[in-house]
Amino acid sequence: MNRIDCLRALAPHVTDEDLVVISLGGTGLEWNAVRPSDQNLFLVAMGCNTPVALGLALALKHRRIVLLETDGSLLLTLGALATLGNVAPPNLRVFVFDNQGYERVKHDISATSGRTDLAAIAAGCGIEGASTVRTVDEFTAAAERAMRGNGLSFVVAKVKPGIADVAARPGDGLEDKYRFVRAVERLEGRPILAAYRAKLD
């Protein structure tokens, strides 16, 4: 199963009301090609994606947050699954694209190429319905179920290594941050970056 086919299957379920947090590497490049939007937060921050998505979901409880996570990043912060299981934000949908390696740095094995089972770890952390899919049909069904559901979901997609032939994404982390926050401001109809003055008393 190629990751970009999963992303193409997921994209029709993502609406203009959603916010998407995306892990680094090929996942971000491919998602940008499939569904470019300022409502995408591209993070180049291994181990940060899941907790950032959790914080965003708790800040905007009325809005659906979609997280496109990767095995290497999640393995760096497995404790975040324990927190996710306990908090269980109903507005967060997690998809882990597990290519069983550190592709971007040309290393073709990660722990999940061995015995490590991320869905089993998630289930052990109390995340209900955590599942693993291995074909595009299975992913399509799981994505539809997750996006139509009303609770936290966690789908691990076992994908083949390889990055689709898509365009590079210009910009940097600062620009990505500003574009995303401005998009959140437009969506929410309130300022986040505007001048702030506290009154001490």
Partner 1 sequence: MRAEVTQAVVEGLRTAGIDFVSYLPETWMHDVYDTVLADDEFEVVLGTNEGECVAICAGAWLGGRRAVAIFENSGLRVAAETLARLGIGHGIPVLMIMPFRGDLGDKDWWAQPHGHTLVPMLEALGVRYRIVRDAADVKSSIVRAWETLHSSKSPVAVVLGAEVCQ
Number of residues that bind partner 1 (CB under 8 A): 43
186 counts as binding partner 1 under rule CB under 8 A: no
Which of 1, 82, 141, 164: binder of partner 1 (CB under 8 A)?
82
Rg, the chain, Cα only: 17
Q: Which amino acid is at 168?
A: A
Cα distances (Å, whole numbers) of residue 119 to 3, 97, 106, 125, 174: 17, 12, 25, 10, 33
88 counts as binding partner 1 under rule CB under 8 A: no
Q: Between residues 148 and 190, which has the closer beta carbon with respect to partner 1?
A: 190
- Choose among 48, 74, 57, 71: nearest CA to 20: 57
192 counts as binding partner 1 under rule CB under 8 A: yes
- Choose among 2, 37, 54: nearest CA to 184: 37
- Residue corresponding to tokens 């590079």: 168
36 counts as binding partner 1 under rule CB under 8 A: no
Pattern 126-155, partner 1, x by CB under 8 A: ------------------------------
12 counts as binding partner 1 under rule CB under 8 A: no
CA distance 69 to 50: 7
Contact residues toward partner 1 (CB under 8 A) are: 21, 41, 43-48, 51-60, 77, 79-80, 82-83, 86-87, 173-174, 176-178, 180-181, 184-185, 188, 190, 192, 195-200
